[in-house]
Structure 1
Amino acid sequence: MSVAGLRRAARETVSGLPREFWWLWTSTLVNRLGAFVATFMALYLTLERGYSASYAGLVVALHGLGGVVSSLGAGVMTDRLGRRPTMLIAQSSTAASVALLGFMVDPVAIAAVAFLVGMTSNASRPAVQAMMADIVRPEDRVRAFSLNYWAINLGFAVSSAGAGFIAEYSYRAGFMAEAAMTLFCALVVFLKVPESQPERTPRNAKGAAAEPEVRLSTVLRDGRFMSVVGLSFVVALIFQQGYVGLPVAMGTDGLSSSDFGTAVAVNGVLIVALQIPATRFIQQRDPRRLLVVSSLLAGYGFGLTAFAGSVAVYALTICVWTVGEIINAPVQSSLVVRLSPAQGRGRYQGMYTLSWSAAALVAPLMSGLVIDHYGATWLWGTCGVLGTVAALGYWVLMRGLPAEEKVTEVVAVTAAEAESDAASGAPQGSVERAV
């Protein structure tokens, strides 16, 4: 493709999205640019504080557990308090807890605050996803989620390198930098992002809501959606092996930590380079086939790791499962929104977030158990099996999914649309759009 063609593709990918989305996107990018704790927690505890590797592992696990605990609670807050208040509370609390963690010395206090950081940093995710679903037109959601995922990876790629230099100077400075950038995210949301939660369903003459209220029990009884959550957990288990099973396997092959860093950097580079071009390809394709293909690419991409022995071959296997990741992330996020009622998006997004948080906890246990008892080859074979199971699950699950154009939902009106409505005399607040 020519340079002019690439420019046109990029322009088409980013055009037509509401202004509020770009402020939310900016907040996400800044948040990931400041990601220090999750990246350097283990090194901080072992090198800076002198604690054992087992204690560092415990603290990292508690950080992940905090994310699991907050997923559902944050989803409920998103629906009850609203998207904007939930994000402000979560980001402000994250800034405070991260700054506090930088001054903790006692091992019990460090563990407790790390758990708190995990809770608060994960609490904004259901609100961000729900707000994107509110403000972006249904036909643009795959594109919006893809751009958001691109921002997450771009921010992480830059922060990983920058945080390394900061850590050489002062780990505490890294904590303070993350706290400041997270507080800046809250400021962006406060100043630029209006509440987007759809108006509650009006009550009838008897005082009862026209539609039943969405509770957590409603989500749990939604068989199709909970099946998506289960399949998401399976896929997340596979992708997590890139950060828990892969470094161990490369170490047993005699490769160094720098070799692992070189190989896994391919993942971030490919996502940053290909996510936007890939968006044009996937946004008009059948989501069922995309999810099937992405699951197979993930499972068999990791399965091919069994045949790797050099950095170059490991990098090639990473290329395979990274393509699966590029396809899976925006398509699955769009599917979650499609299956979620507008008034219950927070709870549904919270349950979806839980699947990834739980996988982040289970994956290290899974990889350690399989590698210790059976060897790394069995781990990669298991990934292949899990990818096949997920692909079959998506194929069966989505066979009866209604066509998008037959569904109607309420989507929040952007500020520009509201001005247009006001000028034309149309009612303001929300508008029904075909999905």
Structure 2
Amino acid sequence: MRTWYRTTIGGLPRLYWYLWTGMLINRVGGFVALVLSLYLTSARHLAIPVAGLVVGLYGIGGIAGVLLGGVLADRWGRRPTLLLAHFGAVAVLAGLIVARPIPAIAVLAALLGMMHAMPGPAFVAAIVDVTPADDRSRAFNLQFWAFNLGMAVASVLAGALAEVSFTLLFAVDAAGTLLTALLILGKVHETRPAHRATATSAGGLHTALTDRAYMLFVGLSLLLAVLSTQTSTILPLAITADGLRPSAYGSVVAYAALLIVVGQLFVPRLIGRWRKGTALAVANVLLGLGFAAVSLADGILGYLAAATVWTAGSMIAAPPNAAVIAELSPEALRGRYQSVFYLTFPAAGFIAPAAGGVSLQYLGAWHWIVCGALGLIAAAGHLLIQPARERRVAAQLAAAEEFAVPVGG
């Protein structure tokens, strides 16, 4: 029996903290994507449409990386997938430092998007593997906190390094990625359950895509993602339309990030006794109300007040969201189920600006009321599917316990 991840620190397995540290380092150093368009236009002197196309290739690579990462995490294992993605990203970043032809930069941008997206399903599947079910909510809450802390630090570093040297920026990003790879190589063992390691007939991506209970949850999660993506797509347009300076938008985003860093650690105690569907319903209501409040905002204080509400919703949603995915994912297909869920982010990244831009143009402030309605619809959906999902999870646990009982035991 393997016991290498049984030692706990702060009530969570030691291996979880290695994974957590790797994600934090990687996120702090992962700032190339934040300034890729700036690099292409200022350092490589590409026209804005061409730079936009290259950045779009990064996004397409990300979609492929999510799916590939989920499949490889189940077939090869979590550790090989993480090592391939991180060492591969180091190589691609090194290539971007020296690449000059536009076609080469475009190919490398797509590969970087793939390598950056691949670790997500493997990281989360590994956390599920090693963390007891009762501790997963806290584990995912800490993961969400680390992600946002890393993003906040990365944003500051990206701006500072871009003003000094893009070559230095790429080199520091590669160094952080390499450090994560070495941490995984030295400290992270394979976590894929041994008795499932050879389960080649357990299903594939189609299993997740045809899982009605899971896809209903993913659909509702897509609504949440579309709402959350308003902050990076449509909100800047609304703020500037009110005559505020771009720095006002930066202040709102920084304030929201600060709220998460300060408040996220208290969320598990707040929602610890709530049913997961109930917590997700409350989260979507707060997200909806927060964005609906933007319709009333015409100054920085109004936007900060609205950000307080929608950020509270984001914080409450993170732990139960991840825990539900873990509950519904078959053990042998955890990576694939995670990859299907991760597709909601690039999908929201397309839907939010495409539909939101049209909505804002023709509906004006009513666009934010529509966002509020979407939050209420998602909340109602979570409450409606909660009983059936809980029955399924209970049945899966009962079946697992029956399977675990030795014959004649």
TM-score, normalization by structure 2: 0.91
Q: Secondary structure at the match of 2:195?
A: coil
| Aligned residue in 2 for 1:279 | 268
C-alpha offsets along residues 99-145 of structure 1, whole Å, 9 cap, x if unaligned? 32233333333222211111110001000000000000000001000
| Separation of aligned partners in 1, 2:97 and 2:235 | 30
Could you tell me whether the CA contact under 8 Å between 1:65 and 1:361 is conserved in 2?
Answer: no
Alignment CA distance shift 1:365-1:56 (3 Å): farther
Choose the corresponding residue for 1:289, options 278, 286, 293. Answer: 278
2:246 matched residue in structure 1? 257
Change (3 A) 1:253 1:46: farther
1:221 counterpart letter in structure 2:
T
Aligned equivalents of 1:350, 1:240: Cα separation in 2: 19
CA displacement at 1:202 relative to structure 2: 9.6
Structure 1 158/201 Cα, relative in aligned 2: closer, same or farther at 3 Å?
closer
Could you say which residue in structure 2 is the equivalent of 1:247?
Answer: 236
1:94 is displaced (CA, Å) by: 1.4
Cα offset, 1:288, TM superposition: 1.1
Q: CA 1:319/1:102 → structure 2, altered by over 3 Å: closer, same or farther?
A: farther
- The one-letter amino acid paired with 1:321 is W
1:184 to 157, 174, 179: 179
In 2, Cα distance between the equivalents of 1:103 and 1:252? 40
CA distance in 1, matches of 2:197, 2:144: 35
Between the aligned partners of 2:229 and 2:397, the Cα distance in structure 1 is: 36
Correspondences of 1:101-250 after superposition (within 5 Å): 101-201=96-196, 213-250=202-239
Measured after TM superposition, the shift of residue 354 of structure 1 is 1.0
Q: Of residues 60, 63, 67 in structure 1, which corresponds to 2:62?
A: 67
In the alignment, structure 1 segments of 5+ residues that lack a partner are: 1-13, 204-208, 412-430
Equivalence for 1:428: none
Secondary structure of the structure 2 residue equivalent to 1:197: coil
The residue identity in structure 2 corresponding to 1:127 is A
Secondary structure of 2:192's aligned partner: coil
**Aligned mates of 1:257, 1:111 — CA distance in 2:** 29
Change (3 A) 1:141 1:181: same
Is 2:10 the counterpart of 1:15? yes
Q: 1:237-280 CA distances to partner (integer Å, 9 max, x unpaired)?
A: 11011001111111122222211111111111001000101122
Question: Counterpart of 2:315 in 1: which secondary structure?
Answer: helix
Aligned residue pair count: 394
Say whether 1:398 aligns with 2:381: no
Which of residues 77, 81, 87 is equivalent to 1:92? 87
- Cα deviation, 1:343-399, whole Å, max 9, x if unaligned, reads 110110111111122212332222223234x15424312211221221121111112
Q: Is residue 364 from structure 1 mapped to residue 353 from structure 2 by the alignment?
A: yes
SS in 2 for 1:402: helix
- Distance of 1:314 and 1:180 partners within structure 2: 37
Name the counterpart of 1:382: 370
Contact 2:32 2:158 in 1 (8 A): no
SS at match of 1:194: coil
Q: CA RMSD in A?
A: 2.3
Separation (CA, whole Å) in 2 of partners of 1:354 and 1:370? 23
1:405 is displaced (CA, Å) by: 6.6
Give CA-to-partner distance per residue, 1:304-330, whole Å, 9 cap, x none.
111111112111111111111101122
1:298 and 1:236 map into 2 onto residues whose CA distance is: 10
1:320 aligns to what? Answer: 309
1:408 aligns with 2:403: no
How far apart in 2 are the matches of 1:381 and 1:99?
A: 46
When structure 1 is superposed on structure 2, of 62-71 and 187-196 the one drifting more is: 62-71
Corresponding letter in the other structure for 1:89: L
Deviation at 1:228, TM superposition (A): 1.1
Kept in 2: contact 1:32–1:155 (CA 8 A): yes
**Displacement of 1:212:** 5.6
TM-score (norm 1): 0.85
Letter in 1 for 2:229: Q
Q: Taking every aligned residue pair, what percent have the same amino acid on both sides? A: 39
The amino acid of 1:380's aligned partner reads: W
The alpha-carbon distance between structure 1 residues 80 and 291, as it changes in their structure 2 partners (threshold 3 A), is same
Match for residue 24 of structure 2? 29
Q: Distance in 2 between matches of 1:72 and 1:340?
A: 15
Q: Does 1:269 align with 2:264?
A: no
Aligned-partner residue type, residue 55 of structure 1 = V
1:421 corresponds in structure 2 to none
Bigger shift: residues 35-44 or 325-334: 35-44
Compute the displacement of 1:406 (Å). Answer: 6.5
Does structure 2 retain, via aligned residues, the 8 Å contact 1:232–1:356? Answer: no
Q: What CA distance in whole angstroms lies between the structure 1 residues aligned with 2:364 and 2:91?
A: 40
Q: Tell me which protein shows more helix as a share of its residues.
A: 2
- Asked if structure 1 preserves the Cα contact closer than 8 Å seen for 2:58 and 2:114, the reply is yes
1:57 partner amino acid: G
What residue is the counterpart of 1:206 in the other structure? none
Taking the aligned partners of 2:214 and 2:40, their CA distance within structure 1 comes to 39
Instruction: Give the whole-Å Cα distance in 2 for the aligned partners of 1:327 and 1:284.
Output: 13
Residues 151-196 of structure 1, C-alpha deviation per residue, up to 9 Å, x if partnerless? 1111111121122111111012111111111111111011001111
State how far apart, in whole Å, the 2-side matches of 1:153 and 1:201 are: 33
Q: Per-residue deviation at 1:214?
A: 2.4
Kept in 1, the 8 Å contact 2:285–2:375? The answer is yes
Pick which of 388-397 and 193-202 moved more. Answer: 193-202
